[in-house]
Amino acid sequence: MNSDFSQPAPQLCYENTNGSCIKTPYSPGARVILYMIFGFGAVLAVCGNLLVVISVLHFKQLHSPANFLIASLASADFLVGLSVMPFSMVRSIESCWYFGDRFCSLHSCCDVAFCYSSALHLCFISIDRYIAVTDPLVYPTKFTAPVAGICISVSWILPLVYSGAVFYTGISAAGMESLVSALNCVGGCQIVVNQEWVLLSFLLFFIPTFVMIILYGKIFLVAKQQALKIETTSGSNKGELSSKSYKARVAKRERKAAKTLGVTVVAFVISWLPYTIDTLIDAFMGFITPAYIYEICCWGAYYNSAMNPLIYALFYPWFRKAIKLILSGEVLKGHSSTMSLFSE
């Protein structure tokens, strides 16, 4: 008696095509759920960050060097949601790349550039907040519009140069030609980066993150000291309190802004740390991470681009008011740019 235990033929990304990658799709139900989750993240990243950019650029009350940095950060996150997440969603769920080799390189380049641009923006924002909290009265003369322009330029140019070098010169894959050849199939978008460039990538994440953590540690230490000073002077005469009232109000406002952006930094670190550690381990351990673990880490990093507008909406009353004015169409009326967004 003969039994036929033959396995079904594997699915291919491109049927009847020689050298096609093998497809490992999810079940129909899982695919629908994943498309909803990933699609929601992309829509939230696009719409939320677009609202941030419109708010800062439209309302004159928000025209400040610090807010221009926030708008530039939102632009980077907006581009992640628009040009990276939709295509990564198809790649992650279908386990195939259907958009061609040239767009694979462009997509990977944009992925790295926009994400590292977010990291550098947050680093410069932490420097801005440190100056604002430690010396709030002199801050406007230190962090000016030209300084903000330099920070924004560096936050865009450096990641673009790095990602261009990684994905368009081929030097990042030097010494790994055999692995590149093994991974080369029709319907794949596998970018191989050697250990030296992975280490550089890790430093591009670690150095700004380390600066952020150090500065925000100092910010909260200074904020605590300022709060203690206010308590110790509470029994002073009215004239002394009046002379210090303006500085106290300014310091309180800057501490509140620093706290909100500190939450943004914590969210960034939590989102990006698993992906960064995974890529570092993979490079030195022979790419041992299962595909689904890599995708989880990758989408955790992507979702950071959708989280920042939610943080702003939660902590910034002016942003909630700006959203209402934008969505209601009030911004289309004359002189809407001069509307007040602050309660004080």
Q: pLDDT of 153-210, one tens digit each?
A: 999 999 999 888 888 877 766 666 666 665 678 888 877 777 788 888 888 888 888 8
Rg (CA), the chain: 24
* One-letter amino acid for residue 29 of the chain: G
pLDDT at 183: 66
What is the arithmetic mean of pLDDT over 313-325?
Answer: 86
DSSP percent split of the chain into helix, strand, coil, nearest 5: 75, 0, 20
Average pLDDT of the chain, as a whole number: 83
Inform me whether the pLDDT recorded for 1 exceeds 50. no
In angstroms, the first-to-last Cα distance of the chain is: 88
Q: Where are the domains of the chain?
A: 28-335
Superfamily of domain 28-335: Rhodopsin 7-helix transmembrane proteins (1.20.1070.10)
Length of the chain: 344
Q: Check if the beta carbon of residue 264 is closer than 8 Å to that of residue 306.
A: no
Q: How far apart are CA 27 and CA 86, in angstroms?
A: 20
Among 100-114, 144-158, 229-243, where is mean pLDDT lowest?
229-243
What is the arithmetic mean of pLDDT over 234-238?
Answer: 52
3-state secondary structure of 22: strand
